[in-house]
Amino acid sequence: MKTQTYTLNLGPQHPSTHGVLRVVLELDGETCVGSKTHVGYLHRGIEKILEDRTYPQVIPYTDRLDYLAGINNNLVYVQTMEKMMNIEIPERAEYIRVMLAELMRIASHMVGIGIYIMDLGAISAVFYPFIEREKILDMMAHLSGSRMTFNYMRIGGLAHDIHSDFKPELDKFIVEFPRFIEDYHRLIDDNEIFIARTKNVGTITAEKAKSYGLTGPNLRACGVKHDIRKTNPYGIYNRFDFEVPVGEIGDCYDRYVVRMKEVEESFKIIQQAYKELPDGPVMAKVPKLIKPPIGDVYHQTENPKGVLGCYVVSDGTPKPSRVHFRRPSFNNISIFDEIFIGHKIADIIAILASFDFVLGEVDA
Partner 1 sequence: MYGKGLLKGLSVTGRNVFRKRLTEKYPEEKPQLAARWRGGFQLDVNECIACSLCEKACPNSAIKLTTEKNEENKKQLASYELNQSYCLFCGLCVEACPKKCLRFTREFETATYHKEEVKLDLFKNQNLSASASIYAQPEKATEAARKEEK
Q: Which is nearer to partner 1, 28 or 182 (CB)?
A: 182
| Min CB(220)–partner 1 separation in Å | 25
Q: Does 145 bind partner 1 (CB under 8 A)?
A: yes
Of 22, 83, 163, 230, the one binding partner 1 (CB under 8 A) is 163
Closer by beta carbon to partner 1, 28 or else 134: 134
* Beta carbon of residue 263, minimum distance to partner 1 (angstroms, whole number): 17
- Of 13-21, 66-74, 141-149, 198-206, the window that binds partner 1 (rule: CB under 8 A) is 141-149
CB 221 to partner 1: min, Å:
21
Residue 312 burial (10 A CB sphere; 0-12, 13-18, 19+): buried
Which of 84, 143, 350, 352 binds partner 1 (CB under 8 A)? It is 143
Site map (CB under 8 A) of partner 1, residues 57-96, x = contact: x-xxx-----------------------------------
27 SS3 class: strand
Q: Which of residues 35-64 bind partner 1 (CB under 8 A)?
A: 53, 56-57, 59-61
The window from 8-16, 159-167, 305-313, 325-333 that contacts partner 1 (CB under 8 A) reads 159-167
Q: Is 17 helix (H, G, I), strand (E, B) or coil?
A: helix
Does 160 bind partner 1 (CB under 8 A)? Our answer is: yes
The 31-38 sheet, strands edge to edge: 6-10, 22-28, 31-38
Q: Is the dihedral of CA 310, 311, 313, 314 positive or negative?
A: positive
Nearer to partner 1, 50 or 214 (CB): 50
**Residues binding partner 1: what is the number (CB under 8 A)?**
36
- Is 115 a binder of partner 1 (CB under 8 A)? no
State which of residues 28, 88, 134, 176 lies at the interface with partner 1 (CB under 8 A): 134
- Specify the stretch interacting with partner 1 by CB under 8 A; choose among 30-38, 163-171, 226-234, 270-278: 163-171
The binder of partner 1 chosen from 6, 28, 131, 172 (CB under 8 A): 131
Q: Phi first, then psi: give them for residue 205, nearest 5 degrees.
A: -80, 160
With CA atoms as reference, report the closest residue to 13 among 33, 46, 42, 54. 42
Considering only residues 187, 244, 284, 313, which one is a binding residue for partner 1 as defined by CB under 8 A? 187
Helix (H) or strand (E) holding 157: strand 157-158
With 0-12 CB in 10 A as exposed, 13-18 as middle and 19+ as buried, what is 96? Answer: buried
User: Does 238 contact partner 1 by CB under 8 A?
Assistant: no
Name which position in 47, 138, 264, 296 contacts partner 1 (CB under 8 A): 138
- 193 touches partner 1 by CB under 8 A: yes
Q: What is the DSSP string of 188-246?
A: HTT-HHHHHHHTTSS---HHHHHHTT--THHHHTTT----HHHHS--TTGGGS------
What does the DSSP assignment read for 261-309?
Answer: HHHHHHHHHHHHHHHH---S-SB----SS--PPSEEEEEEEE-SSSEEE
Pairing of strands 157-158, 153-154: antiparallel
The alpha carbon of 37 is separated from its chain's Cα centroid by a whole number of angstroms, namely 21
Residue 14 lies near partner 1 (rule: CB under 8 A): no
Neighbouring CB atoms inside 10 A of 185's CB total 13
Q: How far is the CB of 55 from partner 1 (least distance, A)?
A: 11
Closest to partner 1 by CB, 89 vs 162, is 162
Q: Which residues bind partner 1 (CB under 8 A)?
A: 53, 56-57, 59-61, 124, 128, 131, 134, 138, 141-146, 149, 151, 159-160, 163-165, 183-184, 186-195
